[in-house]
Amino acid sequence: MKIIIAEKPSVARDIAKVLKISTSKKGYIEGRGCAVTWAFGHLVTLLEPGEYNPALKRWSLQNLPFVPNEFKLKLITNRGVAEQFQIIKMLFEKAEEIVCATDAGREGELIFRYILALCSCEDKPIRRLWLNSLTPDAIQTAFKNLKDGHDYDPLYAAARCRSESDWIVGLNATRYYTVRHGRIGGGSDRVLWTIGRVQTPVLAMIVARDDTILQFRPQPFWELTTRYREVTFKYNGKRFQNLEKAEPLLQKITEQSFTVTAIAAKKKKEQPPQLFDLTTLQRELNKMHGISAADTLTATQSLYEAKLITYPRTDSRYLSEDMKPRIPKILGQLKALRPEQITPLDLTKLPFTKRIINDKKVTDHHAIIPTGMTPRRFGANEQLVYDAITTQFIAAFYPVCLKNITTVDGVSNQIQFQAKGTQIVDPGWTVLFPKKKKATADGQTLPAFKKGETGPHEPFLREGKTMPPKHFTENSLLGAMEAAGKFVEDDALREALKERGIGTPATRAAIIETLLRRNYIRREKKQLRCTDMGRCLVALIRDPLLKSPEMTGEWEEKLKQIERTELNPDDFMKGIENYIRNMIQDNNTRQLDTSRWGNCPLCGKEVIKGKRAYGCSGWKDGCPFVLEPNCKGKMLTGKQIQILLQQRILPHPIRIDDEPRMLILSTQGMPLDLRLPSADRQKHVTKTDRH
């Protein structure tokens, strides 16, 4: 008997329908010598420490680090899981062959292999069904091309390493920081500080950005500008940091004539947009409509299960060569939905450029595109996501946008100026994005200038102030996660950094939602801002690697190397084990420097003690940092001041007005009076952080 297992009941029903298997049983569908069954996503997880050794149920520094000699599995405790697992186990034991039809990716492979292992059926013959969409044609084609399941052993090895490394880092770091720093006022209440291999570096990025903005001091500047024939010309030199240096130049050109010295026109081709991968889609929907990454993923998954788009959890923006024959058919089917947009395309001569078709750039799955099937009624988010995917797909085959970039040079009393303007010659693909085109229009409309023409002008100084970086939005944070903490807009550079991205396209939305749920960050309109709890946690963590986007990116790159059999999984796991052991050992041995107070959080210089307060030694240079030892009527001791300045946090929270509080030093130099969660909200203190 052949057993096919899908990740969800809905996918199992789609497969059974295509294979004409129709007899419904409890927990599976049977017929034609086959049975199609399903999981509910993850059914199996790793054991908790207390299940290896009852003594480990108690959280203690003496038991850390804990790394099992061999990881063991158990069922998750959700309703209906145990019953469904027994049905799967019964079917697997009868099976002559097992076909894995879970999601075609790292986590889908892990779901299947963990179930297989817990059923003790790892010796059974296994095959792999690799689906890019759930249309009947795609399912039939995939079944004709079943692969040996063991061809995907490297993918499973990478998935297992991801799971076990998250367990090791998350569990040990969470227990360590909770036991070491979670006690409230010496009482029995404890704050749960959850640490994660991926989530903590993301939180640290948000805290660092918010701190940079808090520390930012705007600097004034002046730009020399002039108006000639209603066109703004800017001075060719640098802008001025003080008014005294700018005014002499302004006086030099006041009541002088302005002469056009050169006119240069350059044609520019703006290529059509590339197809969407999941992260780019999430960024676009957040930027244009303010939809969260999690809601975009939910809508995209719904569209996939409705057979309207291809597999969503992809990191590729390209299609494979074998997709070429299917594209004209998909566009032909979409013509009923978008006649005005598709009619201009010659479906017999589509421009299949390397920006669209590139086998080397397709990983587990190709870019997200429509399947061509007729849409049903949508929810609001589903409609926006489907429209974005469809428009992007059509635009990829449109002509380039042609622009004329005109640069006009001018001079007044030997002072050089320049103006730039843009004219659209042929809008090409941009006609499909009227709103975006309007929002991104650059340059000013220029009249017809002639070289050598002269006339009066209106010079002036424009005063401005330097601006701090912007707070993260989900759009910019996803971009930073994709590029391992680096902030790049260039498509080619971001593509090169994908190997070292933080998390995966499938997990990034969940990481953001986890930080929100744990009150480490909060949403303010489109912005993501750290909370005092989030800043406190980052201040607690002294190990820079635990909050390093670069280190997390390196780990992710190594997982991809395991997928390609370029790295031994055991070597990766040994590295993780050594890291967590060293991290805990280093934290235990780190001592406070009692010979000094600490560094200024604003400028980094030494802090000195005054008669009434502590202040920065750079006060003569203008540093305003002052730390008052009195906070809400509580006088901080000298040791507590040292801890605040050297570690940015008090080791044991104090009680103020009978409320448990923890003091951390903000980047503005003031102790943050942080209310900690009450004991009745600490019911889940023994749960392990998984992300």
Q: Which residues have a catalytic role annotated?
A: 311
Contacts of 115 by beta carbon, 8 Å cutoff, 6+ apart? 5, 39, 43, 44, 85, 88
Alpha helices in 78-234 (DSSP H): 81-94, 106-118, 136-144, 153-181, 199-215
- Pull the structure tokens for residue 410: 């001018």
As a whole number of angstroms, the distance between CA 392 and CA 277 comes to 11
Q: Residue 222 forms beta bridges with which residues?
A: 240, 463
Q: Residue 228 forms beta bridges with which residues?
A: 231
DSSP assignments along 647-665, one per residue: HSB-SS-EEETTEEEEEEE
As a whole number of angstroms, the distance between CA 66 and CA 577 comes to 9
666 SS3 class: coil
Nearest to 241 by CA among 464, 418, 469: 464
**Angle at alpha carbon of residue 320, lines to 319 and 324, rounded to 5°:** 85
Contacts of 223 by beta carbon, 8 Å cutoff, 6+ apart? 234, 235, 239, 240, 461, 462, 464
- Pull the structure tokens for residue 422: 């843009």
Q: Cβ atoms within 10 A of the Cβ of 331, count?
A: 20
- Pull the structure tokens for residue 199: 């989530």
Contacts of 610 by beta carbon, 8 Å cutoff, 6+ apart? none
- Pull the structure tokens for residue 208: 């660092």
Please check whether residue 526 is in contact with residue 533, taking contact to mean a CB–CB distance below 8 angstroms: no
Please check whether residue 15 is in contact with residue 101, taking contact to mean a CB–CB distance below 8 angstroms: yes
Please check whether residue 656 is in contact with residue 632, taking contact to mean a CB–CB distance below 8 angstroms: yes
Please check whether residue 219 is in contact with residue 465, taking contact to mean a CB–CB distance below 8 angstroms: yes
The values of phi and psi at residue 489, to 5°, are -105, -20
The DSSP H or E segment spanning 301 is helix 293-305
- Pull the structure tokens for residue 485: 């903490």
Q: Residue 6 forms beta bridges with which residues?
A: 38, 101
Nearest to 491 by CA among 275, 301, 194, 185: 275
438 SS3 class: helix
The C-alpha R_g of the chain, in whole angstroms, comes to 30
As a whole number of angstroms, the distance between CA 556 and CA 501 comes to 7
